Amino acid sequence: MTKLTHLSTTGEAHMVDVSAKADTKRVAQARGRVVMAPETLALAVAGQAKKGDVFGVARIAGIMAAKKTSDLIPLCHPLPLSSVTVEITPDEALPGVRVSVEASCAGKTGVEMEALTAVSVACLTIYDMLKAADRAMRIEGVELVSKQGGKSGDWRRDD
């Protein structure tokens, strides 16, 4: 089993010292989905939600969340993000929307948490903006898809 880096030898939580690590390009992709009634999806796609542009607001919320990850997740390092892309795609087959995020930076530690936080908050925002129409919506499948860079190298989810 891999040693947990955020625990001291006595088991206490601490922030890892990354000062000796070299800056490298880091990229992470994550995804999730919001499953909803077909009528709710149609409402969002048509731009008829009472709270406004569901997808536009969720996209901004995801970007903002990525930038605030170190304020939300204990022991995360603040990172100088160079890019955060949030894509929201309606999918009638779910029915619902698929949310995918790519985050990148040149830094000493990875951007996986930023990508996952962005997906989570974008999905939560979609739920919030549509909950008056459909409280039974579900947020599902929030997961890391891939990461690039750093000492541990590249990783990709096998689907």
pLDDT at 146 over 60: yes
With tokens 């304020």, the residue in question is 71
Q: Are strands 138-148 and 24-35 parallel, antiparallel or unpaired?
A: antiparallel
Distance of CA 37 to the CA centre of its chain: 23
Catalytic residue (choose from 17, 71, 128, 158): 128
The three state secondary structure string of 31-89 is EEEEECCHHHHHHHHCCCCCCCCHHHHHHHHHHHHHHCHHHHCCCCCCCCEEEEEEEEE
pLDDT at 124 over 80: yes
pLDDT at 127 over 60: yes
Average of per-residue pLDDT across 78-83: 95
Query: What is the predicted pLDDT for the residue at 20?
Result: 75
Average of per-residue pLDDT across 142-147: 98
HSE-up (13 A, CA, CB side) for residue 80 = 6
Q: Is 128 a catalytic residue?
A: yes
Q: For 4-56, what is each residue's pLDDT tens digit?
A: 676 677 777 777 778 778 889 999 999 999 999 999 999 999 999 999 999 99
pTM of the entire predicted model? 0.91
The radius of gyration computed from the CA coordinates of the chain, to the nearest angstrom, equals 17
pLDDT at 88 over 80: yes
